[in-house]
């Protein structure tokens, strides 16, 4: 009997606690979004000691908060650089034209004026139609006429052969003026052609280049003279 009364009293106490909890929940004022709501729990004094209950705690309920705008604003575009104007552009560099170097000109000996000599072709290696063979006596010469468009210094390159056993001395004159006394050396036979260079000066217009054999045996055999005419 006492046990039944005791259970009845416990049930009534639990009902009272439930009514109080409901009243508290209903009577709570409106809380802002995101605020915590604390719900009171039953105390040990109101519960049957034979019934094990957890220690008094509070239950927290998190109300949903308003959404947060997570949109990231795009950075502003970089400033536009104005295009370069023609005032800042450098004009192209123009190369200065160079005048072409004059080409050398060949003057064949067999086409020149010949004194105390003859045109021959009995030794190989010559250019043109032949070469000039000096008589075996002094005073023979080969004279070329060269026309220049400007005055200036240049080189006269003589192509020769000397198959004798001694050098052949020769005087080189330009317009009657002696410019060189040269000894044309011995070559390896009369078909072995070599060159000998003499520096000369030409005048504008007609010039006479003469190669005079001054030795007892005359001059060396001459094939041609090559001249680079001064540029005009």
CATH number at residue 203: 2.60.120.260
Whether residues 57 and 113 share a domain: the answer is no
Report the alpha-carbon distance of residue 50 to residue 37 in Å, rounded: 30
Q: Is residue 42 part of a domain?
A: yes
- Average pLDDT value for the chain: 78
Q: Is residue 138 part of a domain?
A: yes
Whether residues 178 and 124 share a domain: the answer is yes
Whether residues 113 and 208 share a domain: the answer is yes
**Per-residue pLDDT averaged across 118-139, rounded?**
97
Q: How far, CA to CA in Å, does 179 sit from each of 10, 28, 59, 64, 217?
A: 153, 135, 129, 119, 22
Q: Is residue 201 part of a domain?
A: yes
55-65 in b/e form (b: 16+ CB < 10 A) is eeeeeeeeeee
Residue 26 sits at φ, ψ, to 5 deg, of -70, -35
Q: Is residue 69 part of a domain?
A: no
Tokens of 199: 């520096």
Q: Is residue 208 part of a domain?
A: yes
Q: Which residues contact 61 (CB under 8 A, 6 or more apart)?
A: 36, 37, 39
pLDDT tens digits for range 130-180: 999 999 999 999 999 999 999 999 999 999 999 999 999 999 999 999 999
Q: Is residue 152 part of a domain?
A: yes
Report the alpha-carbon distance of residue 166 to residue 162 in Å, rounded: 8
pTM (2 d.p.): 0.59
pLDDT-derived band at 102, boundaries 50, 70, 90: confident
- Number of domains the chain contains: 2
What residues make up the domain containing 26? Answer: 2-62
Are 193 and 160 in contact by the 8 Å Cβ rule? The answer is yes
Beta-ladder partners of 118: 133
């Amino acid at each position: 009997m006492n046990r039944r009364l005791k259970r009845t009293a416990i049930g009534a106490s639990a009902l009272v606690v439930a009514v109080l909890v409901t009243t508290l929940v209903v009577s709570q004022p409106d809380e802002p979004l995101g605020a915590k709501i604390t719900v009171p729990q039953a105390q040990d004094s109101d519960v049957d000691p034979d019934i094990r209950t957890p220690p008094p705690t509070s239950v927290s309920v998190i109300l949903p908060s308003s959404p947060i705008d997570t949109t990231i604003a795009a950075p502003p575009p970089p400033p536009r650089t104005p295009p370069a104007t023609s005032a800042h552009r450098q004009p192209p560099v123009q190369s200065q034209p160079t005048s072409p170097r004059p080409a050398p000109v060949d003057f064949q000996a067999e086409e020149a004026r010949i004194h105390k000599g003859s045109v021959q072709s009995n030794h190989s290696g010559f250019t043109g139609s032949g070469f000039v063979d000096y008589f075996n006596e002094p005073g023979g010469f080969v004279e070329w006429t060269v026309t220049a468009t400007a005055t200036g210094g240049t080189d006269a390159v003589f192509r020769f052969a000397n198959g004798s056993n001694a050098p052949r001395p020769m005087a080189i004159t330009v317009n009657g003026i002696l410019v060189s006394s040269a000894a044309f050396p011995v070559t390896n036979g009369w078909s072995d052609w070599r060159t000998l260079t003499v520096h000369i000066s030409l005048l504008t217009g007609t010039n006479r280049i003469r190669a005079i054999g001054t030795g007892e045996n005359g001059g060396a055999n001459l094939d041609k003279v090559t001249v680079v005419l001064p540029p005009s």
